[in-house]
Amino acid sequence: MSVFLCDADSCRGETLLTVLRRLGFFIDSGCAACGRCGRCRVSVAPLCAPDRFESVLACAAVIDRDLIVRVPDPPRADAGEDEFRVAVERCASPRGGGRFAAAVDLGTTTLAAALIDIDTGKVLAHAGCRNPQRRFGADLLSRLQMAGTPQGLSLLRRTLLDAVGALLAGLAAQLPPKGAMERVAAAGNSVMSLIFHGLDPSPMGHLPFEPPVYEFPPLTAGDLAWPLPQKTPVVTLPLLSRFVGGDLTAGLLLLRQKGALDFSGPVLLIDLGTNGEIILAHNGRFLAASTAAGPVFEGGHIRCGSMAVSGAVDRVDFTARPPFHTIGDCPPIGLCGSGVFDIVAELLRVGVLLPSGRFVSPSADLPLPRLARLETLHGQRAFFLGDSSAGQGDIVVTQGDIRQFQLAVGAMKAGVEILLQRAGIQVGDLAGLYVAGALGAHLSCASARRVGLFPEALADERLNYLGNSSLEGAALAARFPELGKTASELRRATETVDLAGDPDFEARFVRSMRF
């Protein structure tokens, strides 16, 4: 707990949240200071009555007098929440006379970077951290609202640039003596890319949803105040359409390198991230759409959700003992994306969860694994999995969690159906379905089928997991500057499909929410 005196003469009329952040306090506000999430709650007392503390939302408290403020300490890093620390993993030793570049994935929830050997393409090191912009809003809509003011945009951009700079500094430390990065390439969704360049993305929050630009001017490390040689070139991959950003441009560059775009049949690329982007490549034409999947696929908006860190449950199998597996075989701290898919699939398989997404009655006779139970928690049904008596925390999945998952899966399914309809093809016509996003590397195909995300009509051999294609595609752009021209050509060949404006979307969305 920190205590300080807020002098009204220097900050009268400002919100307490603005002042606290300016002073360097960690204040979480997942709703972008709209007063909805309640995470910015602090205690205040008038200086004239120092014993009369009351709890207020810092985002709503306007300073009009001298105050004594009590600020809770930030969450502990080992609690899985304060994950804005940079983690660097060395993958291989760089050559003494090698040429190096860096790739950056500007993710809504997480930031990732890689150090690349330009000549061989070998990844020498990875770096990553949670996107510290999450303290201002977990979803893109919250950040769009915050970026609508010059102060908000400046704070979002500086927070992002500082975090990416820390990632690059960690990678640069892996270079041999006198080694330097020749260039940096970045890719991100539309909103993240615009914020990265200091461009106001708020027009994308209302009609006609147009970004201010689709392609970005080159920058240097000096422009961004990064701890690299100041003239190091920095390029950002262009947006494909209004809501399909450079992360999918990177994915297409990766598919092109793999020869997947040369197949005789159509190819579908989906990104299971916060923004839920989809591209259908067919006869040299690219149909692109974006759905509001939210952060559920990355463990967000889930009561016991977690990033894919040590202790996160990444696999669930009710026939195994224990019925779940955690990353690093550590005590469970929550469910990461693949664990969410697995536990929902298992609940459906044993009949605890109905196709409608509703839990059955807790009194039902169910084939549950040992140490699992269905109860009522705060007025809603919830499934508990764990062994509190053994020092493990329960993993809890509530009815609200299931609804969030249904919304995300339903949005993706409806989006895919509409793109296929626009192209006049069936699921069975697809030559390949490529799944992008870090989740894809760990997602169980069986679980994805059981919850309805992957169609039954698509053969397993046509399913391909790309992992972080945004980072890999950016790595290609960092190695081969000429791919900048290719990326621009892909953008011009892309047609945006406005799902919200499609008369069938709502009906398809409702149907797709059933498991």
The answer to whether residue 78 scores a pLDDT higher than 60 is no
In this prediction, residue 197 carries a pLDDT of 98
Please compute the mean of the pLDDT values over residues 471-480 and round it to a whole number.
Answer: 96
Please compute the mean of the pLDDT values over residues 330-356 and round it to a whole number.
Answer: 93
Please compute the mean of the pLDDT values over residues 10-30 and round it to a whole number.
Answer: 76
Neighbouring residues of 365: CB distance < 8 A, sequence distance ≥ 6: none
Please compute the mean of the pLDDT values over residues 460-477 and round it to a whole number.
Answer: 91
Maximal C-alpha separation, the chain: 77
In this prediction, residue 207 carries a pLDDT of 80
The answer to whether residue 3 scores a pLDDT higher than 80 is no
Region of poorest pLDDT, from 135-149, 181-195, 277-291, 398-412: 135-149
In this prediction, residue 226 carries a pLDDT of 96
Region of poorest pLDDT, from 154-158, 419-423, 459-463, 475-479: 459-463
In this prediction, residue 392 carries a pLDDT of 52
- Domains belonging to the chain, first-starting first, are 2-74 (3.10.20), 87-236 (3.30.420.480), 297-403 (no CATH)
The answer to whether residue 135 scores a pLDDT higher than 70 is yes
pLDDT band (50, 70, 90) for residue 74: low
In this prediction, residue 80 carries a pLDDT of 40
pLDDT band (50, 70, 90) for residue 269: very high
DSSP string, 266-323: -EEEEE-STT-EEEEEETTEEEEEE---GGGGGTTTSTTB--SSTTEEEEE-TTSSSS
The answer to whether residue 30 scores a pLDDT higher than 70 is no
In this prediction, residue 26 carries a pLDDT of 62
* DSSP helix/strand/coil, 256: helix
Residue type, 140: L
The answer to whether residue 204 scores a pLDDT higher than 70 is yes
pLDDT band (50, 70, 90) for residue 365: confident
Q: In this predicted model, what pLDDT tens digit does every residue of 90-128 receive, in sequence order? A: 888 888 778 999 999 999 888 999 999 999 999 999 999
DSSP string, 56-76: EETTT-B--S-EEEEEPPPPP
DSSP 238: P
CA 239, 240, 241 angle in degrees (round to 5)? 95
Residue spans of beta strands (DSSP E) within 344-481: 372-377, 380-385, 395-398, 432-436, 463-467
C-alpha pair distances (Å), 340 with each of 216, 304, 352: 36, 10, 15
Please compute the mean of the pLDDT values over residues 38-62 and round it to a whole number.
Answer: 84
Q: When comparing pLDDT for 432 and 79, which is higher?
A: 432
pLDDT band (50, 70, 90) for residue 21: confident
The answer to whether residue 8 scores a pLDDT higher than 60 is yes
- Sheet of 54-57: strand order equals 2-6, 67-71, 41-46, 54-57
CA–CA separation, 296 vs 275, rounded Å?
10
CA–CA separation, 171 vs 125, rounded Å?
7
Q: In this predicted model, what pLDDT tens digit does every residue of 211-235 receive, in sequence order? A: 999 999 999 999 999 999 999 999 9
DSSP 149: S
Residue type, 464: N
- Smallest Cα–Cα separation from 343: which of 450, 205, 416? 450
Would you give the distance in Å from CA 42 to the centre of its chain? 28
- Determine how many CB atoms are found less than 10 A away from the CB of residue 511: 12
pTM: 0.79
- Smallest Cα–Cα separation from 288: which of 273, 269, 274? 269
The answer to whether residue 156 scores a pLDDT higher than 60 is yes
Q: b/e map of 315-354 (b: 16 or more CB within 10 Å)?
A: bbbbeeebbbbbbeeeebbbbbbbbbbbbbbbbbeeebbe
The answer to whether residue 377 scores a pLDDT higher than 80 is yes
* DSSP helix/strand/coil, 376: strand
